[in-house]
Structure 1
Amino acid sequence: MARTEEILLNLLAVPIKEKGFELIDVVFNRHGSEQIIQLFIDGPHGIGTDDCVAVNQVAQEVLESGDRIYETCTLEVSSPGIFRKLKTPEHFKTFTGRRIRLRMQQKIQGVKNAIGSI
């Protein structure tokens, strides 16, 4: 995770958790002069449009009250989708017994992609 993404994750995780959601991932992209912050969230019963709106409001408040560097960024909030990345031990525990696709950076015994269960 890039430094900017780590900063944003640390800044936003607790306020988002206080609203009942988990901040799964943060992606910070630059497209020309445009800067985009993408927040991927999950909740105990999945994520709907109203949840994304609520988290967007929380994130906007936090970002506007802090460093002005984020004022001009576009903020996007969504669920991680069905192809979510598992990043923490808790994520792996949540998906124990579920089928996953594993993409490795390097081949291991001639295999780079695998499908199996956690």
Structure 2
Amino acid sequence: MSANVKENIATIAKPMLDELNMELVDVEYKKEGKNWVLRMFIDHPDGIGLEECSIVSERMSQKLDEEDPIQGSYYLEVSSPGAERPLKNAKDFQGAVGKNVYLKTYEHVDGRKTFTGELAAYEDGEITINIREKTRTVAFQVPERLIANARLSVL
């Protein structure tokens, strides 16, 4: 998806989500089968349920009809980021300290490209992840710039 589509959707959604005390976690726009799907992942401090998704979907549909930022037809889906919420920015990483995470890097860090363990710290773009290996816990320092994919992990 082009960054512009994602930015446009975020710009349209932000005021409405702020009013509802919600956060836009991620946006996907991709072809699934022969249909295009615009998928918004939202969150709220008290969690997200069907009712919240329905409210945002209704309001967002109206906004998208008014502003028409995407050419052609597509389906709008609004959902919670779920138990394996993506970690996209500093705020997400800071909020995940003390939780189990999965990281995949673009290149090897200490001989590996995937890490699953406890996010021990996030400081100045460096992630410290503690991984339990048989009889000991090993701490790995992973630069944020090398992270290809990061999410909370259900172990």
Percent identical residues: 31
- Equivalent residues of 1:40, 1:80 under 8 A apart: yes
Matches within 5 A, 1:26-65: 26-31=27-32, 33-65=34-66
1:14-93 pair list within 5 angstroms: 14-31=15-32, 33-67=34-68, 69=70, 72-93=73-94
**Aligned CA distance change for structure 1 residues 88 and 115 (closer, same or farther; 3 Å):** same
Matched-pair contact (CA < 8 Å) for 2:8–2:69: no
Q: 1:71 to 1:52 in 2, by over 3 A?
A: farther
User: Which residue type is aligned with residue 106 of structure 1?
Assistant: E
Gaps spanning 5+ residues in structure 1: where?
A: none
Contact 1:100–1:115 (CA<8 Å) still a contact in 2? yes
Higher helix share: 1
Following TM superposition, by how much is the alpha carbon of 1:70 offset from its aligned partner in structure 2, in angstroms? 5.5
Which residue does the alignment assign to 1:97?
98
Q: Which one has the bigger strand percentage?
A: 2
Q: Is the 8 A contact 1:27 1:39 kept in 2?
A: yes
CA contact (8 A) 1:23 1:39 kept: yes
Moved over 6 A (4+): none
Whose radius of gyration is greater, 1 or 2? 2
Cα deviation, residue 32, structure 1 = 5.6
How many residues of Structure 1 are paired with residues of Structure 2 in the alignment?
Answer: 118
Amino acid at match of 1:117: E
TM-score where L is the length of structure 1:
0.87
Q: Shift of residue 5 of structure 1?
A: 1.7
TM-score for both structures, normalised by structure 2: 0.68
Post-superposition offset of 1:13: 2.1
1:58-85 residue CA offsets vs partner (Å, 9 max, x unmatched): 2112101102635722000111111111
